[in-house]
C-alpha cells in the first residue's frame, strides 16, 4: 500500500488513505450502479441488448442511437444529432455527466480521420509502454517475433518478474487496436508465472517492433457490403513445450476487421486437419455471436457467413459425415460447425496458404509475408 501520487504526506510517509466503504468497499456497488443506470435508460425508451448487456439502442422512426457503457464511461452515437442531444439532456437530469463532444480519446483509444474512414490508434499508450520499459530510444524492428528463435526453457529466471508481467499486461490492452501483435503477446502471456531471461528478450523484440510502428492502428471505413466473412487458421503442434496447436482467426464485416483471436488450443491435436477443424469451431462461435448482435440491431444482411480455411481436410470435415471414424476422439462441442454448415448459416471454402490472413495470428512470419498480411488488417 502506498499513498497515491500527488497526495503524499511528508509528515506521515507510512500512512495510507482510508477509503469510504459506502463508496468503494461494497462488492455489490458496481451492480447497484449499473442497475440504476439500466432502469433509467429503459424508462427513457432505450432497449437493452440481449447479446451484449453493456449495449443499449434507441429507435425512433429512421433514427437510431446506440449507447455503450464501460463502468462510468459512456459513448453515444447515432444518425440524428437532435435526438442525441435530447437523450443527453434526459440523462443529465438523473446523473451528473459531461458531454465531451466527438470522441477523440476514449478509454486510451484515439480516433482520427484518414481518407474516407477512421483510424483507431493508441499512439500515446505505446509511448507510455516504451517509456515504462526504458526503451523509448531503442532500434525498431520490422516484425514482432523471429521465425528462427524458438521459445526455450531457460533455467535462468528473469531478475524482475513484476516488470515483465506489468509490461506484458499493458501489451494485452494494446492488442485492441493492434491485431498484428496478438500472436507475439499471446506467446509472452504463457510465461507470466515464471519468466526467464529468454522471455525478456522476446518481450524486448516486441517493444522494438512497437517502436517502429507507433503510427499504426485499426482502420475502419464505409463499406457497401455488410456480409460477414472470416479467415481461420491453425499452427499444428506449434508449441515445443506441450505440442498444443495455436488457433487464429480474423472476422471481417465488409472490408473492416471487427474481431480476431490468437489462442492456444485446450487439447493436443493428432493431425493438422483436427487442429484446423478446432480453429473453425472457434471462429464459428464468434461469428454466431456477431450475427446475433447484428440481427438484434437490424443490421444483418441475411446472407450466410463465409469462412476461408487453407486445409482441405478440415473443409471436407465440416460437410461430410463420412469422416466420423477419424474424428471419434474429437470433443462433441467442436462438431456444432457441421450443423451450421448443414443449415446454410455458414459456407466453408478453401483458400491458398499465401492468401490466408489468419496466418499472422498463429505463427511467426518472415518479414515480407508479415507485412503483406499486416497491411490488410492495420494501417
Tell me if 107 is assigned to some domain.
no
The dihedral built from the CA positions of residue 170, 173, 179 and 185, taken in this order, carries a sign that is: positive
Q: Are residues 262 and 300 in the same domain?
A: yes
In a domain, 7, yes or no: no
DSSP code, position 10 = T
> For residue 11, what are the CA distances in angstroms to 7, 8, 14, 15?
12, 9, 9, 9
In a domain, 14, yes or no: no
- Kindly state the DSSP code that residue 21 receives in the 8-state scheme: I
- The total number of structural domains that make up the chain: 3
| pLDDT given at position 300 | 87
Mean pLDDT of 10-14: 87
Eight-class DSSP state of 244: -
The answer to whether residue 112 sits within a structural domain is no
Q: What is the pLDDT of residues 61-80, one digit of tens each?
A: 888 999 999 888 889 988 88
**Domain closes at, from 153, 184, 212:** 212
Q: Does residue 372 sit in the same domain as residue 234?
A: yes
Q: How far apart are CA 172 and CA 159, in angstroms?
A: 22
Q: What is the pLDDT confidence band of residue 350, given thresholds at 50, 70 and 90?
A: very high
205 and 228 inside one domain: no
Same domain, 146 and 35: no
Q: Give φ, ψ of 204 to 5 degrees.
A: -65, -30
Say yes or no to pLDDT of 20 above 80.
no
Same domain as 261, residue 345 = yes
Tens of pLDDT, residue by residue over 265-293, are: 988 888 888 888 889 989 999 999 999 99
Question: Do 191 and 317 fall within a single domain?
Answer: no
Domain extent, residue 364, equals 224-377
Please indicate, yes or no, whether residues 199 and 228 belong to a single structural domain of this protein. no
Residue 232 confidence (pLDDT) above 90: yes
- Would 8 be classed as within a structural domain? no
> Which domain-ending residue is among 152, 185, 212?
212
Q: Do residue 288 and residue 145 come from a single domain?
A: no
Q: Is 75 helix (H, G, I), strand (E, B) or coil?
A: strand
- The full length of the chain comes to 379
Which of 167, 186, 212 terminates a domain? The answer is: 212
pLDDT at 130: 94
What is residue 247's three-state secondary structure? strand
Asked whether residue 186 carries a pLDDT value surpassing 70, the answer given is: yes
Q: How many CB atoms lie within 10 A of CB 37?
A: 18
Contact 262, 182 (CB under 8 A): yes
Mean pLDDT of 172-179: 93
Same domain, yes or no: 247 and 338: yes
Alpha helices (runs of H) in the chain, residue ranges in sequence order: 29-43, 81-94, 123-133, 161-174, 182-189, 197-212, 272-296, 312-319, 336-342, 367-377
Q: How many C-beta neighbours within 10 Å does residue 123 have? A: 14
pLDDT of residue 363: 87
With respect to residue 32, please indicate whether it lies within any of the assigned structural domains: yes
- Sign, CA torsion 339/341/343/345: positive
Distance CA 90, CA 98 (A): 13
Is residue 241 domain-shared with residue 188, that is, in the same domain?
A: no
Whether 230 is covered by a domain: the verdict is yes
Q: 254 is written with which cell numbers?
A: 465488409
Q: Which of 291, 286, 265, 290 is nearest to 276 (CA)?
A: 265
Give the domain CATH number at 345. Answer: 3.30.420.10
**Residues near 220 by beta carbon (within 8 Å), at least 6 away in sequence:** 117, 118, 119, 120, 256
Residue 296 and residue 333 share a domain: yes
Better-scored residue on pLDDT, 147 or 141? 141
325, pLDDT greater than 60 = no
Q: Which of 333, 354, 353, 337 is nearest to 345 (CA)?
A: 337
Does 245 lie in the same domain as 363? Answer: yes
C-alpha span between 7 and 11 (Å, rounded):
12
Amino acid at each position: 500500500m502506498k499513498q497515491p501520487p500527488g497526495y503524499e504526506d511528508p509528515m506521515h510517509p507510512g500512512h495510507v488513505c482510508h477509503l469510504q466503504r459506502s463508496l468503494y468497499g461494497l462488492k455489490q456497488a458496481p451492480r447497484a450502479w449499473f442497475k440504476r443506470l439500466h432502469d433509467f435508460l429503459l424508462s427513457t425508451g432505450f432497449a437493452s441488448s440481449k447479446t451484449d448487456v453493456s449495449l443499449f439502442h434507441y429507435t425512433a422512426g429512421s433514427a437510431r442511437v446506440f449507447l455503450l457503457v464501460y463502468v462510468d464511461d459512456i459513448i453515444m452515437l447515432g444518425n440524428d444529432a437532435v435526438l442525441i442531444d435530447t437523450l443527453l439532456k434526459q440523462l443529465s437530469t438523473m446523473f451528473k455527466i459531461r458531454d465531451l463532444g466527438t470522441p477523440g480519446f476514449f478509454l486510451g483509444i484515439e480516433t482520427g480521420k484518414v481518407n474516407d474512414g477512421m483510424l483507431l490508434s493508441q499512439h500515446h499508450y505505446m509511448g507510455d509502454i516504451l517509456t515504462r520499459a526504458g526503451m523509448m530510444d531503442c532500434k525498431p524492428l520490422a516484425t514482432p517475433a523471429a521465425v528462427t528463435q524458438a521459445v526455450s526453457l531457460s533455467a535462468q529466471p528473469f531478475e524482475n518478474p513484476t516488470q515483465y508481467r506489468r509490461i506484458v499486461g499493458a501489451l494485452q490492452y494494446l492488442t485492441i487496436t493492434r491485431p498484428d501483435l496478438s500472436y507475439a503477446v499471446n506467446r509472452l502471456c504463457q510465461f507470466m508465472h515464471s519468466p526467464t531471461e529468454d522471455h525478456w528478450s522476446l518481450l524486448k523484440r516486441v517493444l522494438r517492433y512497437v517502436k517502429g510502428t507507433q503510427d499504426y492502428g485499426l482502420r475502419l471505413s464505409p463499406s457497401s457490403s455488410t456480409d460477414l466473412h472470416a479467415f481461420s487458421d491453425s499452427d499444428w503442434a506449434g508449441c515445443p513445450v506441450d505440442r498444443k496447436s495455436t488457433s487464429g482467426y480474423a472476422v471481417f464485416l465488409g472490408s473492416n476487421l471487427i474481431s480476431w483471436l490468437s489462442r492456444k488450443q485446450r487439447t493436443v491435436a493428432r493431425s493438422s486437419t483436427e487442429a484446423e477443424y478446432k480453429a473453425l469451431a472457434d471462429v464459428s462461435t464468434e461469428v454466431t455471436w456477431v450475427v446475433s448482435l447484428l440481427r438484434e440491431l437490424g443490421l444483418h444482411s441475411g446472407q450466410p457467413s463465409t469462412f476461408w480455411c487453407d486445409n482441405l481436410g478440415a473443409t471436407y470435415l465440416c460437410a461430410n459425415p463420412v469422416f466420423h471414424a477419424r474424428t471419434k476422439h474429437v470433443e462433441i462441442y467442436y462438431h456444432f460447425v457441421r450443423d451450421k454448415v448443414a443449415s446454410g448459416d455458414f459456407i466453408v471454402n478453401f483458400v491458398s496458404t499465401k492468401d490466408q490472413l489468419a496466418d499472422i495470428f498463429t505463427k511467426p512470419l518472415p518479414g515480407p509475408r508479415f507485412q503483406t498480411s499486416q497491411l490488410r488488417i492495420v494501417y
